[in-house]
Structure 1
Amino acid sequence: MSGPLPSRLVLLSELEKCALGEKVRFLGCVDEYVVKSATLCLKHPYPGPSPPKIARVNIDHVLESVKSCEIDVGSWLNVIGYVEARMSHGVGVQAVTVWSAGNVDLDMYQRAVDVRKAARQ
């Protein structure tokens, strides 16, 4: 029996290294929502002092299930989607699901992702 391919957990800052078409899961903070294109601009200023990377997440396919509070600036979201494009100002992702991260402990999340990544190497 086969099913959908699993997503790969990555940091938002690693999206630009992912292959086009790759299914990913990541965390980001809403910086902007563009209603006309149903696109969320997400940031996550980790791992360093450089300007944070940007994910431009199209939520057109999941718009009916997204709560209005989840698109508020400052909301932290979990996203599963497909890397669609590399842009001069970020990476484009087509969301297949989006849900609130709630009051996520960012330090713990970042450490957990780093540990998981190290275990795969």
Structure 2
Amino acid sequence: MDVETFVSSLLDALADRPFVQSVDVETEAIVVRGRVLLERNRFLQVCFNEETGTTAFALIEDEQRIGGVDYDDLRGEHVHSVDSSDQHRDIDPMTPRDVVEALADAWKQLP
């Protein structure tokens, strides 16, 4: 996936989510970094590197990661679920849309 496709997919997936307050995404050559401000004083930190394919989606609350989905060459595709964010569970590859769908499902479980 290239930077343009990643950003487009992410923004499209976030567009109709009621818990999203704002999106701030910056691209720099082959890298995307951004922050999605959410309700309840939470945010989603997003990173993507086109060259390595590395992705990181971290759901943050009170400066602590409470969940997320990552891909890197060392651990492969894995999830940090909201009930055990410090553990890795291997998963099948996910698109930005898939990650936002999972976030929407997790959002329902959070207080």
TM-score norm. by structure 2 comes to 0.29
Higher strand share: 2
TM-score norm. by structure 1 comes to 0.27
Q: Which has the larger radius of gyration?
A: 1
Q: Which has the higher contact order (CA 8 A, sep 6+)?
A: 1
